[in-house]
Amino acid sequence: MEGQFHRLLATSGPALLRLAASYTSTASDRDDLFQDICLAIWKALPRFRGESSERTFIFRIAHNRAISHLAKRPLPPFAADDVEARDPNPDPETELLARERGDSLARAIRQLPVDYRQVTTLALEGLAYADIAQIVGIGESNVGVRLNRARAMLRRLMETRT
């Protein structure tokens, strides 16, 4: 089980960290939520029955922990310094533009209602509609509807920023 846990964190750890970041506004809160997610995965691994992929299983756990985190703590104001947009070997101007776009997108995603934020974050991590539906507990068609509505909201939010 320990090997399975380390393998899961090695393959999905960065995605889980990004998921945690989408539900928090400071690096310390992100790290606390990520640690809480890791602990919940560790505790749940013995109950994994293979009814879904391991990735879906751990993202379902992460989703549940993130929702619990939101329920416990109101979201504080966003700090742009906590978002890291990385571009390998960019020139300073390209790096600045990418960072500004990433910061703006992260702020816009945090402004989405939780239902839309959930599916958007999972879709950005490359999960299929079926997996997102299973993680969030809704139908696949509902995932598509929520993503379309979230995209429209994000477009409006991003347009107001420029």
- Average pLDDT (137-151) is 93
Helix (H, G, I), strand (E, B), or coil: what is residue 91? Answer: coil
Give the C-alpha separation, 82 to 32, whole Å: 14
First to last CA, the chain: 49
- Confidence class of residue 22 from pLDDT cuts 50, 70 and 90? confident
pTM of the model: 0.60
Model pLDDT for residues 93-129, shown as the tens digit of each residue = 777 777 788 788 888 888 899 999 989 999 988 899 9
Q: Is the dihedral of CA 66, 19, 24, 40 positive or negative?
A: positive
The fold of 1-77 is: Rna Polymerase Sigma Factor; Chain: A (1.10.1740)
Listed by start position, the domains of the chain span 1-77, 90-162
Q: Do domains 1-77 and 90-162 have the same CATH topology?
A: no
Give start and end residues of each alpha helix (H) in the chain. Answer: 2-22, 27-44, 54-72, 92-111, 114-124, 129-136, 140-161
Indicate the class that CATH gives domain 90-162. Answer: mainly alpha
Residue 44 is predicted with a pLDDT of: 93
